[in-house]
A and B are shown apart, each in its own frame.
Chain A
Amino acid sequence: MAKVVVDAMAMQRALTRITYEIIEHNKGIDGLVILGIKTRGVFLAERIASRLKQLENASVPVGELDVTKYRDDIEHDGTENDPKVTVSKIDFPITDKKVILVDDVLYTGRTIRAAMSAIMDLGRPKQINLAVLVDRGHRELPIRADFVGKNIPSSQNERIKVSVTEIDGQDSVEIMRQ
C-alpha cells in the first residue's frame, strides 16, 4: 500500500521554498556550491541550482557526491558483494566555499555523516548546510537539516520512496508499509 504524501506540485513548491530560504540564509549566492548526494540528491541539487540561476542570473556550481565508501553501515569485505562505488563528480574547489549538501531523505543521519567525511577529504569548506526534501525522523547521529521540504514523521517499518521525473518518470514522495 503506497500513499502519495507529496505530489508533483508540492515537490516543486518545496524546492522553490528551499531555494528562497538558501538565499535568505546566505544573503545571496556568493561563494555557494551545491553538492547532491547520489542518486536523487543530484537531481534535486540541479533543480535548486537552476532556480537560483533564474532568480539571480548567475550560475552556482553543482557537484555529485558518492558517499558509498565512507558509509559505516555497509560492509566492505573485498568480495563481489561489495557495494559498487562510483566516483564523485566535483570539478571545482570547495575550500572556503559555502557548501549546500542536498539529499532526498534524511533518516538516520549516517549518509550525511559519510557525505561530510567525503567533503572533508576534498577540501575545507567555510560552512556546510544541509537541504533535504524529506525529513522522516529516527536520527542515530546528532545531525539536523537547515532546509527541509517536508517533515514526514514516520514509523521505522515504513518506507519513504522519493521519485524524480529525471529517472523515475514522475515527481512524488510515497510512504509505504513494508
Chain B
Amino acid sequence: MTQRYLILEDGSVYAGNGFGAGATTTGEIVFNTSMVGYQEVVTNQIYHNQIIVYSQPIIGATGISHDSYESILPTAKGMVVRDVATISKNRQRSLSLDQFLKQHNIPGISDVDTRQLIRKLQSVGTIKGSIVDVADDHAFDQLHATVLTNQQVAQVATPKPYPNPNTGYNVVVIDFGLKHGILRQLSQRHCNVTVLPWNADAQAIISLDPDGVILSTGPGSPLDVPESVLEMVRTIQERIPLFAVGLGHELFALANGASMTRLGTAHHGPNHPIRKIITNDIIYAEEAQEYVVDSETVDRNRLITTYLDLIDGSIQGLRHRDYPAFSVQFFPDGAPGPHDSVDLFDEFMEIMGTREG
C-alpha cells in the first residue's frame, strides 16, 4: 500500500492508501450512494472526468464481471472508498477491482473518511479535486490550473455508427455516451439496433426508417450540447416514437422549451423514491443527475409531467402531449439499481407496435 492523497480545490487534503493505477488525475468529485454496482458506476460514461466517492463502506468484494460493464473503455478519473476489499469472490468474477483499475489507468484511494467527505460535498456542491502522490503547493497549483473540458459528450460518444443486429423492431440509439444497460434492454427485446453518433442529423436518422429512436444517457451539462441537437429532437419527435433517458431527457426537455438548472448537490444513487403520476405508484430507480428541469418552465400545453422525485419534488419524467415521445431523468435499465421501471422499455416496444398496423 502506498500513501496517496485526495486534494480538493478548497485546500482540504485527505490522506489514504492508493490502489488500482498509480496515475495522478484531476476531475470533479461526485458521490454515489448505491449499495451495490460499483462496477456499473465506475464504467458508466456519465462519470467521464469525474472522481467517484462511494458511500457504501466496502467496495470491491465481488470483483469485476463480464456482465456488468456499462462501457468498453471507462473514463472516470478515480474511485474514493472507505475500505477496498483485497479478496473478491463471485461466481461471475473475472478480475479483481484492483487489476481492472490498473488496466484502465484509473487510480483508487482507500481509507478515506468518506462520511465526512460526503458531508462536505453536500455543503459545497461541485468541486474539483485530484488524486496525487504528494499533497504540496505544486499539486494544488496544478489542480487550480487544470481546466476540465465541457465537451464530455464528444469525448465519450461513438464517432461512427455501428449496428447491433437482431430480428425485432428497428431502433436507432443516439449515443451521447450511452450506458450498455440501454443496449442490453433492447437486445433482450430482440431490437435491431443502430447506434448513431451524438451529432447525427434528423435526415440521417429518418433515412434508416426506424420504428423508434432512443436518446441515450451521457455525461456533462445539457447546456453545452449544441442547438443543432435540439433541432434534431424536435424534428424526430413529430415523426418517430421517441424515448429519452438521462442526458437524453434533459435534451428532450430543452428541445420542448423547458430550462435546466444545476443542482446544488447532484443525485447519484437509487435511494430517491419517485412517484409515477399516472398510477400513483412509488418506484425506485438509479438517479444520476447534476441538472434538473425547472418545473415552472415546463409548458403544460406541450409536455405532461409523468414522474416526480418525492424527496425534492424534482421532475423525473416528461411526455409530449401531441406525439408518442417520452423521457425519464432516472436510469430505468437497473444497471445498477432497482428494476422497478425496466418495463418502460416494454412500454416503448408497445408504442412502436401500435404504429405498425
Contacts and interface: CB of A to CB of B under 8 A. Distances in A.
A76 interface: no
A55 B277 contact: yes
B351 A17 contact: yes
Given A23-B304, A54-B279, A54-B280, A17 B321 contact: no
A9 B351 CA distance: 15
Nearest to B347: A13
B277 to A, nearest CB: 5
Interface string A52-78: 001100000000000000000000000
Interface in B319-334: 319, 321-324, 326
A19 B278 contact: yes
Contact of B343 (A9, A19, A21, A27): A9
Contacts of B319: 20
Interface of A: 9-10, 12-14, 16-17, 19-21, 23-24, 27-28, 51, 54-55, 148, 150-151
Given A24-B323, A54-B279, A17 B354 contact: yes
A54 B322 CA distance: 18
Given A24-B321, A24-B324, A14 B279 contact: no
26 contacts: A12-B279, A13-B346, A13-B347, A13-B350, A14-B350, A16-B278, A16-B279, A16-B347, A17-B347, A17-B354, A20-B278, A20-B324, A20-B326, A21-B324, A21-B354, A24-B321, A24-B322, A24-B323, A24-B324, A27-B322, A28-B321, A54-B279, A54-B280, A55-B277, A55-B304, A151-B357
B306 to A, nearest CB: 8
A13 B343 contact: yes
Interface string B275-297: 00111100000000000000000
Contacts of B347: 13, 16-17
Interface residues of B, number: 20
In the A-B complex, list the 3 residue pairs whose CB atoms are closest, starting with the nearest. Answer: A51-B278, A54-B278, A54-B277
A38 B83 CA distance: 63
Nearest to A144: B357
Contacts of B326: 20
A59 B33 CA distance: 40
A17 B350 contact: yes
A19 B347 CA distance: 13
Contacts of B357: 151
Nearest to B323: A24
Contacts of A10: 346
Contacts of A151: 353, 357
B350 A27 contact: no
Contacts of A55: 277-278, 304, 306
Contacts of B280: 54
Contacts of B323: 24
A148 B354 contact: yes
A22 B326 CA distance: 15
Interface string B296-331: 000000001010000000000001011110100000
Contacts of A9: 343
A54 B281 CA distance: 11
Nearest to A28: B321
Interface in B62-82: none
A20 B350 CA distance: 13
Nearest to A47: B279
Contacts of B354: 17, 21, 148
A13 B326 CA distance: 14
A129 B123 CA distance: 54
Contacts of A23: 304, 321
